[in-house]
Chain A
Amino acid sequence: DQQVKQNSPSLSVQEGRISILNCDYTNSMFDYFLWYKKYPAEGPTFLISISSIKDKNEDGRFTVFLNKSAKHLSLHIVPSQPGDSAVYFCAASARTGANNLFFGTGTRLTVIP
């Protein structure tokens, strides 16, 4: 049972424009969310996270928005750069329990120069 879902397997965006990657979750116990970026044949790189007490967290060109009522989060990249082309995974964890991360299936972002 996939508790974290990324329904768009791929996304193409023009350089300089905004990239919006979406993620939905089903477990209401999740209270911490993360985005990772992954290049082929490499491990994921931590990008940005957000706690459920917030609805927005910003770090440079990356902003994560959390809508708890909709169980939805999104990652905005502005402006998009060719180097952002990678697979982006969202992940979630719950404070109770083992704090293990549950990953989505990833969205491949291609930024077109």
Chain B
Amino acid sequence: GAVVSQHPSRVICKSGTSVKIECRSLDFQATTMFWYRQFPKQSLMLMATSNEGSKATYEQGVEKDKFLINHASLTLSTLTVTSAHPEDSSFYICSARDRGRARTDTQYFGPGTRLTVL
């Protein structure tokens, strides 16, 4: 149980284009999903928290107009990197909390998406 999928796993795009990444909880309902970014040899950096049916909460320094997050259902959240630039190249990982668990701190992670912007 507690499987999270992410699609695509790898994407290469040209500078200026937009890229959408999907995050799905496959066997549980997630009231909250998180989007992280990881640079090489660094920790996971939380970008934003996405709650179903409401606006995402962005961490300080993360541009909400550049990283659009939509959490349309209890099993799907999407991250759209708009007008991507080479400095946006990174490993993006989503996670989800299982609403069915008493203590919901545990997050279950997707496999990640490697974005390369040329």
Which A residues contact B (CB, under 8 angstroms)?
Answer: 32, 34, 36, 41-46, 49, 51, 89, 93, 98-101, 103-106
Q: Which residues of A contact B4 (CB under 8 A)?
A: 43
- Check if A89 sits within 8 Å of B44, measured CB to CB: yes
| Chain B residues within 8 Å of chain A by Cβ, number | 26
List 6 extra interface pairs beyond A41-B112, A43-B112, CB under 8 A.
Answer: A43-B94, A46-B106, A46-B108, A99-B104, A101-B34, A103-B43
B25 sits at the interface (CB 8 A):
no
- Check if B46 sits within 8 Å of A43, measured CB to CB: no
Chain B min CB distance to A5 (Å)? 10
- Check if B46 sits within 8 Å of A100, measured CB to CB: yes
Chain A min CB distance to B29 (Å)? 17
Chain A min CB distance to B10 (Å)? 8
Q: Which residues of A contact B91 (CB under 8 A)?
A: 41
- Check if B105 sits within 8 Å of A93, measured CB to CB: yes
Q: Which residues of B contact A99 (CB under 8 A)?
A: 97, 104-105
In the complex, A44→B44 CA distance in Å? 10
11 contacts between A and B (CB under 8 A): A34-B105, A41-B114, A42-B111, A43-B6, A43-B95, A46-B107, A46-B108, A49-B106, A99-B104, A99-B105, A101-B105
